[in-house]
Chain A
Amino acid sequence: MLSLIPAVILGSYLYFDKINIETNNLNERLTSISKIGADNVASWIVERKNNIQDIAKNQLVIVETMKLANSATESEQLFIAKYNLEKQFTAHLSKYDWLEELWITDPRAQETVYHKSEIISQEINFNEIHFQDALDGKIGISDIHPSTKPIRNEYGIYEIGVPTLLISVPVEGEAGIKGVLTARISIFEIESGVEAHTDDFVSADTYIVNSEGYLLSPSAFPQSIQHLIEKRSELELRIIEPDSKELTNIFRQANSDSSTINSDGYSNYLGKLVVGSITPIEGTNWHYVVEILRNEAYQNIFLVQNVLIPSSVITITVIILMTLLFSNNFLKPIKKLTWAIENIRVGDREAEIDPILKKSKDEIGKLANTFDEMRNNVLETEKNLNKIVKERTAELEEANIELKTIDKQKEEFTSMITHELKTPLTPIIGWCQTLKKPKIMGELTDKQTKAINNIQENAKRLQMLITDLLDAQLVDLNQMQFYYTDIDVTEFMEFLCQNLQYAMEPKKIQFINSTTEKNMHIKSDRNRLEQVLNNFVFNAIDFVPEGNGRIEIKAQEQEDESVLFYVKDNGIGIPKEKINNLFQKFYQVESGLTRKHGGSGLGLAISQGIVQGLGGKIGIKSDIGKGSFFYFIIPKQHGEKQ
């Protein structure tokens, strides 16, 4: 409900803002139209004034003739002069088709000397302002003059009472103003000479009024003056008077302001409600008016007023009513239901739903019943699930125990197998050794010695394989035991170097111990260290070239209480992409039938297990063709469970 308040505020703001914008926009457009119209009329009149002035320039001779006419009685001479003038004027009239009448007046005689027209339209009033202006040397322009002679109306038909405009200009001689030339122009000529801009307004009317608000543009409202035309007597003016005080006041105000005024609604000549803009026409006492129907002017605003606002009010009312209806008939039951659901959510599965809710026959009632059913299903499923979970858990526990047993059995089996495999090796290898002792067994033939050596060698290989398998399994099970003793690393490396020297002989490998540090003591498993280094060295032996092979071993104390051991060779090297695989069990750089180098393939995997068991890390760096660098780093003090 509260959320409606900002909407109403926003709506109102938008509404009033919209009205302001629309009003400003409308006034600007109307002002523009009436200004353009007024300017056009003014410049049209200026143009006509100039034309009439041009005519006046050549009329001195007429004035002279007038003098003649005034001084003498009508004679042959005067007749000829009149004839000539008539010809001249006819020429002008045909040149300027907007000209209705043209005459010259003698100001001193105060009488019309000559006029070009078949009919004298009216008595010339010498006191009129435009005539007096001309006598003062200015161009005089009359207010509206209903023509007393028939002139062309908007349909080209000759008609009496048509509004006309008189323009008077002085005819100047050497000694001042000699006469006044007056021209009559029909209002229809003015209207047709001025293009009316109406922008995009559909209902726009443009017209000219005089200072008293008399409509000078009958064509603006042809339908309204039709009845006037029919009713009026022959000489009645075809000029429509403003029929309301409102209208009169508006034009009077425009006249006194002498600038554009906008009116936000008045009844026009047809009695229709319009919005208008009125601009005085320069050089006249007239006004140019543009007006449009108020309905069109404010159609956007009317849309807001008549459609949007009522519909908004209805919508808001409906929302309020719906909300009230909802809260009573819908929200309250839903709250109850939600409370029941919440109870079940937090674990109170037994929480009952309000029986009144369930009795209700509407959608809420259905929902409550469905939910209750669902709750019962959930309860049942939960019970079943619990039962199943218990059963499965029991099964899993059983399986787990079984697995542990199997694990244990597997471990025992491996131990037993290795034990059983090793046991027969003792007599095999032992007898081979013994057979080669002549003091005990007597002399052997060369063939016998060769055979025994062969047996012994293969038995040894079998022994190593069994040891590797066992170690690999221990690494796998993470059960490798270590026997920590104090090791003099310098001595250990020297011992190792001498111990392995025999293995270098077949390939004549240069074998160097580069350990320089003395008194380097660590606590570790000597046998296992030896195993790893042996593994490294035997690997190296396999891969160095015969004759110029070189293997270097070294132990080097590190800054962080650890020792680096490495075996460096100048062998064939290991491709980078294969280095990571080296620590996998049974991995050989060369595999399948291409294998040239022997071994169980477990050595590096076991070495890694040993080094990790000793708390260190193992690694290989290698460049193809340049050799390999096998290393491990172990802490000086590790293990020895406290």
Chain B
Amino acid sequence: MKILGIDDSFAVNELLDTVLNGSGHNFMYVDNGQEGLKLIRSQKFDIVLLDLTMPEFSGVDVIHALKKENIMDKQKIIIFTALSNIKQEIKELMELGVNSYIEKPIDVDALLEKVDSFG
């Protein structure tokens, strides 16, 4: 599967790169929302892994932009967050078209399972 990772954490990106590419997926990543949005506009991904908390242009901004541009349904979106008390916000994001969410720290096995379930 073609997967895009948008996360400002280099360590996370490195890990996901190793795990997902090592598991037979086609994973690429960017470290900010603006670039991520550009890639989504220009390419077709099966899944976008999106971190909510990023400086300047956050994951939430990305989602609102996708919704605005009506390209939410182009791909499955799984959001990451290290914030645990934002259930109301997550619920709203799900209503906007987000498919799933994973709480940080990311459980690699759970992520692989979830990715496979969208295959």
Interface residues in chain A, defined as those with a beta carbon under 8 Å from any beta carbon in chain B: 415, 418-419, 422-431, 433-434, 437, 439-441, 459, 463, 467, 470-471, 474, 479-483, 525
Contact = CB atoms under 8 A, between A and B. Distances in A.
Interface string B88-118: 1011000000000000111111000000000
B85 A422 contact: no
Nearest to B24: A439
Contacts of A430: 12, 15-16, 19, 105-108
A467 B104 CA distance: 11
B15 A427 contact: yes
A426 B105 contact: yes
Considering the complex of A and B, which 6 residue pairs feature the smallest CB-CB distances, nearest first? A440-B22, A425-B105, A427-B11, A483-B87, A422-B82, A433-B108
A384 B113 CA distance: 74
25 contacts: A415-B83, A415-B85, A422-B82, A422-B105, A423-B12, A423-B104, A424-B11, A425-B104, A425-B105, A426-B9, A426-B15, A426-B104, A427-B9, A430-B16, A433-B109, A434-B108, A437-B19, A439-B23, A440-B18, A440-B23, A459-B105, A467-B84, A481-B87, A481-B88, A482-B87
Interface string B54-93: 0000000000000000000000000000111111101100
B86 A426 contact: no
B91 A419 contact: no
A441 B15 CA distance: 12
A408 to B, nearest CB: 15
Given A419-B53, A431-B15, A437-B22, A426 B87 contact: no
Interface of B: 9, 11-12, 14-16, 18-19, 22-23, 53, 82-88, 90-91, 104-109
Contacts of B53: 419
A180 B23 CA distance: 173
A456 to B, nearest CB: 11
Contacts of B18: 434, 440-441
Most buried by A among B15, B22, B23: B15
A428 B105 CA distance: 9
Contact of A474 (B16, B85, B107): B85
A481 B86 contact: yes
Residue among B15, B84, B87, B105 facing the most chain A CB atoms (10 A cut-off): B105
A424 B10 CA distance: 10
A440 B24 CA distance: 10
A434 B104 contact: no
A483 B85 CA distance: 10
A418 B108 contact: no
B82 A418 contact: yes
Given A433-B107, A433-B108, A434-B18, A423 B85 contact: no
A427 B90 CA distance: 23
Given A434-B18, A483-B91, A423 B82 contact: yes
Nearest to A460: B105
Contact of A481 (B82, B85, B104, B106): B85
B55 to A, nearest CB: 12
Contacts of B22: 434, 437, 439-441
Given A422-B105, A424-B11, A439-B22, 19 more contacts: A415-B85, A423-B12, A423-B82, A426-B9, A427-B11, A429-B106, A429-B108, A430-B12, A430-B105, A434-B18, A434-B108, A437-B23, A440-B19, A440-B23, A470-B84, A480-B85, A481-B87, A483-B88, A483-B91
Contacts of A423: 9, 12, 82, 104-105
A429 B85 contact: no
A416 to B, nearest CB: 9
B84 A429 contact: no
A430 B19 CA distance: 9
A479 B86 CA distance: 10
A479 B85 contact: yes
Nearest to A527: B87
Contacts of B83: 415, 418-419
Contacts of B104: 422-423, 425-426
B12 A427 contact: yes
